[in-house]
Structure 1
Amino acid sequence: MMLKKMKPIFLFYTLFLGHLLVNDMKHFCTADLKRGYSLLQRGYRLEKHLITNLGGVSFLDCVEECLRRTRCLSVNYFQPAHFCEVNYKKKESLPDLYFAKGWYYSERDDWDKAIVGPCSNPNCQENEKCVPKALGAYTCEISDCGIPIIPMNKEGNAFGNIHDSDAIGIQRKMHFTCLDGYEKEGSEVFICQTNGVWKSDLKCNKKYQLPGCFVDDHNRVLESGPHSLQINGKSQCVSHCATLGSYRYFGLQVGTECFCGNEIKSTSQLAPPDDCKERTCFDNPDETCGGAWRIEVFLM
């Protein structure tokens, strides 16, 4: 008896859900796919510009994933494994593409946006993706963390050491390292958090050429100083010297003192290098700043 009463309700929901499915499919079926297929580049792949990748999907699912992500500009698709790569860049010229058997390359602008129905013209931010809902509605969700900005000292620099699997999507990671002439501080791995913000502590600090550790006296090794800094260290002393003029050398001494100069006093005597490691820098314990009457001199 209960089953008979439930049948009309079950039929209603079946018809209702079927209507939604047909409504969603209507957008897909009315989309013009001819242009996209005609512009496919077979045997090519754009490398190392991933937002994310997906396995076990069709080629059109791959295209749809790109169209729903604001930042996506192209896709790679590996037919034998039904594997999709969603890219945040597109080729500037054909040599940008890597020849790879079994791969297909396609660009976002080649496809009719009607494929994604309510997501064909969403008001989502650059780092968001459109998620379609029932009755033509959609929501915007965080998709990626964008291209990482390397946090570093103002004289520092860095460049990507990007791995094949690196991507900017949520819970993905990127690898970066410092340029020659810079010291790495922290991890080279950047992790994209669920809030769309990169997690990293990488800094690139300039390596200063070391003329040596010198014995100092009242006839100073470097002509300008001592200057007492609230926070002492290589970058702090360099910055302070820059405010005083144009100097070739800077020096650190007794933890708190910074010196600047264009010449090293000709009568200066070299001291053992360890003599200049006696004192940590004032309010900067990660660096050493010379010793008592021992100045560590660097080339700017």
Structure 2
Amino acid sequence: MDFKVIPFLAMFNLVNYFSATFADFDVRALTLNAAALPEHRFLSIPGISLQDCWANCENRASCKSVNYKRQWHLCELNSVGDSKILQHRVRGSVFYKKRNDATKVQCGSTTCDGDMEVCDRTTGMCTVKECEPLQQKSERFVKGNIASMGDKALLGCKDGFSPSTGSNVTVTSRCGNDGIWLPEISCIKTCQLRSSTSSETSYEVFEHGQWKTMPCSPGTAFSVDTCECSIILRKQ
């Protein structure tokens, strides 16, 4: 037997199965031994079939692709579907990319147009079941990658940044029934400078064990909010 034929036959049988099961299933978007999108996964659903995994994606405008791990029957919904950014190849997985990036899903006589709304095909109703994935930022970190209602994630300020309000540098945020994460945290750059006691058009920096006065550029004044001479002075 020519073992090089087996992967082709497996793909052929899988395509034929889905062609018969789903008339509108885009077999061109189905690839075997594909790659996961761990940075863009917003929902993991264990213990379901590939058909149900695909259906869960089709019912969400926010879902652009799925990665199905056949060995564990694990469905992962991704917020992006561009095959150019695939990474972390997973042997035995199946990757499916939606045919379009539609922002709405037709649900019976209604339309689910919210980013995180899900169509219930049985009732024809649009409901919110998840929050938008929390994004890593240059000033803030996120620990946790699940976003169903009631799920929690840890948010915090990175080194060199501090919370804009309050004293806690980390907060535990929860995905609410309205699809909103609360509480949130806003981080600003930690300022190593301070306002000058002699003039608003200068600031002080701590160097070699003492505070040294530095001038701002002409026409500007120091701002503690931006930690630089960002205030534009009006000409007299």
- With normalisation by structure 2, the TM-score equals 0.62
Secondary structure in 1 matching 2:39: coil
TM-superposed CA distance for 1:79, in Å, is 0.3
Q: 2:52 matched to which residue of 1?
A: 61
Q: Distance in 2 between matches of 1:78 and 1:66?
A: 15
Secondary structure in 1 matching 2:58: helix
What CA deviation, in whole Å up to 9, does each residue of 1:84-126 have, x standing for no partner? 11111223514x321122322211227xxxxx9x748951122
Contact kept, 8 Å, 1:171 with 1:191, in 2: the verdict is yes
Gaps of 5+ in 2: 1-19, 206-212, 216-226, 229-236
TM-superposed CA distance for 1:67, in Å, is 0.6
Contact kept, 8 Å, 2:162 with 2:169, in 1: the verdict is no
Change over 3 Å in CA distance of 1:177–1:187 after alignment to 2: closer
**Greater helix fraction, Structure 1 or Structure 2:** 1
Q: Distance in 2 between matches of 1:127 and 1:143?
A: 7
1:123 is matched by which residue type in structure 2?
T
1:46 to 25, 37, 48: 37
1:32 to 24, 32, 39: 24
TM-superposed CA distance for 1:31, in Å, is 2.0
TM-superposed CA distance for 1:68, in Å, is 0.5
1:173 is matched by which residue type in structure 2?
K
Contact kept, 8 Å, 2:66 with 2:78, in 1: the verdict is yes
Contact kept, 8 Å, 1:51 with 1:87, in 2: the verdict is yes
Change over 3 Å in CA distance of 1:180–1:42 after alignment to 2: same
1:183 is matched by which residue type in structure 2?
S
1:249 is matched by which residue type in structure 2?
E
Q: How many residues align?
A: 182
Q: 2:130 matched to which residue of 1?
A: 144
- With normalisation by structure 1, the TM-score equals 0.51
Secondary structure in 2 matching 1:77: strand
Contact kept, 8 Å, 1:48 with 1:162, in 2: the verdict is no
Contact kept, 8 Å, 1:73 with 1:107, in 2: the verdict is yes
Gaps of 5+ in 1: 1-27, 111-115, 151-155, 212-220, 225-240, 251-260, 264-298
TM-superposed CA distance for 1:29, in Å, is 5.1
TM-superposed CA distance for 1:69, in Å, is 1.2
Q: 1:223 matched to which residue of 2?
A: 198
Contact kept, 8 Å, 1:157 with 1:178, in 2: the verdict is no
Q: How high is the sequence identity, in percent, across the aligned residues?
A: 22
1:104 is matched by which residue type in structure 2?
V
In terms of Rg, which structure is larger?
Answer: 1
